[in-house]
Structure 1
């Protein structure tokens, strides 16, 4: 495994750990990780020994934001037009992951975890534009958004549950 793959696996593992911690606090049937793998990125299991896959993706707004974040430059709060573009990025990421999921093993259902690592957009930004979220095609049983909201604390929501004119 090369350095890039090692870093990618470490990012995925961190996202899975945060997800499981928040999920298990807020759901009556706890999940645990069986193993990290490829296609999907993790195999989870609940207390009833039911297995479910977890595909993980990390979301920056764009490569320019990634560069600005790495250089630690001052970031200013973007306007509504830029936020609208970020919602399009989320919609495109879900659609692209759904396409990839069709090639995966279907021995168990699969969820999608989107970890928002953007410094420009928080959970409240996404929720304020929830009416623009496009409902997934149903390949994933749940689509989770893991995001901060300009605090150190991570928040987790199922995008299928946000209501509005978007996902249901």
Structure 2
């Protein structure tokens, strides 16, 4: 059972990092490419100047029941009323948990955190409107990226280090 879970996790991570690279490269002169998937951090990228970047990848779900349902393993749990505050609390906890584990990662290159919002519950515009409630990442990771959708099939990429900027891109 663990093997299937690990394979599924790697596929989710690969999809997230590929979308991250596509969006990142679309707006930066220094391009990134995936060198290989790894553990602690989950991916090693190389930039067009030859530098390496580690990326720790995690997925945000509204709750465990939503995660199971979206991964094809519904457990019959009925969700209560949904709230944006709950999703933001989940996001804040995820950021803090990843920051606390960072010391176990390979320190030979800088590491970014990539959070892929897997929950279709709220759009980026709704989340960003409540950004004053999102935990502002500290300097544990060089960047904290948020990959999400805004009501369409297209992914959007926001750097959470810019939380207090006026608009997302």
Asked if Structure 1 and Structure 2 have the same fold, meaning a TM-score greater than 0.5 normalized by the shorter chain, the answer is yes
User: What secondary structure is seen at the aligned counterpart in 2 of 1:139?
Assistant: coil
Residues 31-68 of structure 1: CA deviation (Å, up to 9, x unaligned): 11111100000111111111110000011110132345
Query: What's the counterpart of residue 52 of structure 1?
Result: 53
Partners of 1:20 and 1:128 lie apart in 2 by 25
Gaps of 5+ in 1: 72-77
Instruction: Report the equivalent of 2:7.
Output: 6
Whole-angstrom CA distance in 2 between matches of 1:115 and 1:12: 9
Return closer, same or farther for 1:108/1:67 CA change in 2, 3 Å cut-off. closer
Q: For the aligned residues, what is the CA RMSD?
A: 2.1
Shift of 1:19: 0.5
What secondary structure is seen at the aligned counterpart in 2 of 1:121? coil
Pairs aligned (count)? 159
Give SS of 1:53's match: strand
Q: Give the match for residue 164 of structure 2.
A: 163
The residue aligned with 2:106 is 105
8 Å contact kept, 2:111–2:142: yes
Aligned CA distance change for structure 1 residues 42 and 68 (closer, same or farther; 3 Å): closer
Could you state the TM-score of these two structures normalised by the residue count of structure 2? 0.87
Runs of 4+ in structure 1 over 6 Å off: none
> TM-score scaled to structure 1, two decimals?
0.87
Q: What residue number does 2:121 align with?
A: 120
Please, which runs of 5 or more residues in structure 2 have no aligned partner? 75-80
1:75 alignment counterpart = none
1:134 aligns with 2:109: no
Change (3 A) 1:67 1:47: closer
